[in-house]
């Protein structure tokens, strides 16, 4: 656009002491160093610093929702200062410019100490998560090169990531359109003038600016008009039909209400005498700036009650209605932060329960370890009543119970294999003893998953009965004294062999007493002793220890 001569200027679109705000477009005084509508500073140092940090990352700031983007390094500095946290809302290149939590933003979440996919602990210098083995700098995320597929865990946002993969495939399959010729580079704009400099505005520029403001205003009015407005006469009737009965009742039943109208002796009303007070402070005053700085400091410290008190004091003294929006936002902020914090912790607890249900106890316990004392106290409050410590103890008990079951499972499998080998090698007695030991050692419910123990023992007993030779004829009975002496000799020999750990020979001596002599000559607890010697013999065989030579 060709420059026009300043000497040919007509009347400007605004008054000589007014100009539009470069951020929100509202009409303000040219001498103002801060916009009273969007509270943006016009100082040269602030604007120069903001332009140096312009980037392609955005964070949602309630005080300035339309703020310009910042660089990634600026976000890292905000994290170090505590201004940007995991539940802050950001968007940038790695989120495909979709708004999301900072704790879920690839490349940014690891500077907050967590993986954006599984929320495990992460370090800024790492590229792949050590828990889920996924790339923490991109979305959709690729697994670590060379990692087995079974080590890659399912994503917490699986449905969202599947949609990202489909979008990436669709973008790759799309045929690229021919590149248009580059547009001619416009001439550089003149440098910004200080806010206090009054520049004569040409007629063409003033008319264009006025048309732009009128068009913007018409769009706002049109957008508000789409909602549908009630009829003016209906609003007036409903308003006065409600207020008049209330005013009449208040006039007759509220004492001293007539004093509110300042009734004069002649029957007329006289206005209240004006109060003499100091002029209200302006946005450029030192008191106003100090109060705003205190409010910002209190808001950063999350002392919202004190921030609201300061802003209400400023509102009372300056009458700046733009502060009401900020006060209302601060009043909602504790509830919003509480809800966001509760949703975040709820997602973690649900994920921990899913891990525990799939017997991934280490992952579940890692999530519990990342829940600090403050979050545990918050969840244990009476309104929520969630005992995280108890849930963690239950997961630990389930982990110990599952480990015990796995150990029993391994022992049972080993003993079943050993008993099967004895049965194949035709050692039926030893196999029968092994199966009976299995029944006495392990729970019946666990054994039933592998073998029908009762049927197996019955089958072995049938096979042993079929191959057992007929009993030889019993010799004539000996005198009682000789019989008792023979039993005592065999018992002593069995004790000596048992002491020498020759359990097979000792068992044979005890069985000889049982087979040769009548039960009246048996020593006390002979059956128990035979069972003990058998158990010792089987224990040696089970652990693979040879009997002493």
- The secondary structure of 200-236 as a DSSP string is PPPHHHHHHHHHHHHHHHHHHHHHHHTT----HHHHH
| Token pair of 48 as six digits | 């120069």
**pLDDT surpassing 80 at residue 233:** no
| Token pair of 358 as six digits | 């799939």
DSSP 346-389: HHHHHHHHHHHHTT-HHHHHHHHHTS-HHHHHHHTSTTT---HH
pLDDT tens string 40-97? 766 666 667 667 778 899 999 887 777 788 999 999 999 999 889 988 999 999 998 8
Contact indicator for 125, 134 with CB cutoff of 8 Å: no
pLDDT tens string 439-484? 888 888 888 888 888 888 888 888 888 876 666 666 666 667 778 8
Neighbours of 526 (CB within 10 A): 16
How many whole angstroms separate alpha carbon 156 and alpha carbon 118? 6
How many whole angstroms separate alpha carbon 137 and alpha carbon 116? 9
How many whole angstroms separate alpha carbon 125 and alpha carbon 143? 17
Cα–Cα–Cα angle for 173, 177, 179, nearest 5°? 135
- Please count the CA atoms within 13 angstroms of the CA of 309 that sit on its side-chain side: 6
Which long-range contacts link 4-8 to residues 24+ away (Cβ below 8 Å)?
Answer: 4/202, 4/203, 4/204, 4/205, 5/202, 6/200, 6/202, 8/202, 8/203
Q: Helix, strand or coil for residue 85?
A: coil
Percent of the chain with pLDDT over 90: 13
Query: Where are the chain's structural domains?
Result: 230-261, 286-398, 409-467, 480-543
pLDDT tens string 1-29? 333 344 333 434 455 567 777 666 677 87
Contact indicator for 61, 74 with CB cutoff of 8 Å: no
Neighbours of 332 (CB within 10 A): 12
Considering only CA atoms, which of 37, 21, 124 is closest in space to residue 72? 124
Q: What is the structure's pLDDT at 25?
A: 66
Cα–Cα–Cα angle for 284, 33, 28, nearest 5°? 100
Q: Record the pTM.
A: 0.33
């Amino acid at each position: 656009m060709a420059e026009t001569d300043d000497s040919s200027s007509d009347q400007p679109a605004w008054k000589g002491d007014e100009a539009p705000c470069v951020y929100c477009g509202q009409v303000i005084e040219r001498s103002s160093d801060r916009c009273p509508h969007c509270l943006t500073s016009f100082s040269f140092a602030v604007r120069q610093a903001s332009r140096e940090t312009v980037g392609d990352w955005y964070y949602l700031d309630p005080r300035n929702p339309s703020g310009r983007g910042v660089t990634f390094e600026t976000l890292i500095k905000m994290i170090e200062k505590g201004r940007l946290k995991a539940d802050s809302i950001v968007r940038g290149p790695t989120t495909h410019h979709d708004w999301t939590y900072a704790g879920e933003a690839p490349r940014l979440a690891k500077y907050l100490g967590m993986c954006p996919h599984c929320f495990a602990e992460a370090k800024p210098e790492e590229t792949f998560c050590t828990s889920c083995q996924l790339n923490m700098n991109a979305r959709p995320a690729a697994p670590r090169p060379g990692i087995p597929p079974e080590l890659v865990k399912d994503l917490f946002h699986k449905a969202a990531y599947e949609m990202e993969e489909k979008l990436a495939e669709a973008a790759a399959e799309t045929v690229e359109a021919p590149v248009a010729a580059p547009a001619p580079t416009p001439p550089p704009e003149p440098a910004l003038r200080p806010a206090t400099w009054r520049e004569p505005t040409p007629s063409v520029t003033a008319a264009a600016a006025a048309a732009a403001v009128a068009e913007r205003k018409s769009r706002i009015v049109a957008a508000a008009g789409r909602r549908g407005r009630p009829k003016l006469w209906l609003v007036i009737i409903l308003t006065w039909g409600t207020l008049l009965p209330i005013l009449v009742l208040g006039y007759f039943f509220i004492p001293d209400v007539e004093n509110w109208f300042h009734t004069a002796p002649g029957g007329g009303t006289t206005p209240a005498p004006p109060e003499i007070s100091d002029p209200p402070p302006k946005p450029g005053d030192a008191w106003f700036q100090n109060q705003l700085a205190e409010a910002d400091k209190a808001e950063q410290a999350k002392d919202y009650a004190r921030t609201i008190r300061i802003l209400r004091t400023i509102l009372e003294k300056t009458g700046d209605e733009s502060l009401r929006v900020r006060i209302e936002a601060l009043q909602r902020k504790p509830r919003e932060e509480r809800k966001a914090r509760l949703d975040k912790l709820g997602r973690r607890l649900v994920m921990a329960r899913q891990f525990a249900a799939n017997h991934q106890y280490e992952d579940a316990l890692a999530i519990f370890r990342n829940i600090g004392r403050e979050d545990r106290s918050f969840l244990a409050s009476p309104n929520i009543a969630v005992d995280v410590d108890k849930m963690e103890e239950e997961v630990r008990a389930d982990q110990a119970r599952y480990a015990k079951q796995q150990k029993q499972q391994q022992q049972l499998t080993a003993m079943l294999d050993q008993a099967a080998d004895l049965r194949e090698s035709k050692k039926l007695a030893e196999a029968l003893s092994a199966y009976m030991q299995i029944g006495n050692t392990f729970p019946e419910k666990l054994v039933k998953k592998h073998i029908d123990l009762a049927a197996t023992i019955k089958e072995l007993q049938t096979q042993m009965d079929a191959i057992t030779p007929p009993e030889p004829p019993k010799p004539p009975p000996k005198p009682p004294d000789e019989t008792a002496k023979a039993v005592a000799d065999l018992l002593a020999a069995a004790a000596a062999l048992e002491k020498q750990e020759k359990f097979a020979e000792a068992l044979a001596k005890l069985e000889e007493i049982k087979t040769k002599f009548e039960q009246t000559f048996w020593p006390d607890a002979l059956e128990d002793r035979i069972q003990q010697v058998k158990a010792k013999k089987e224990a040696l065989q089970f652990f693979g220890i040879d009997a002493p030579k």
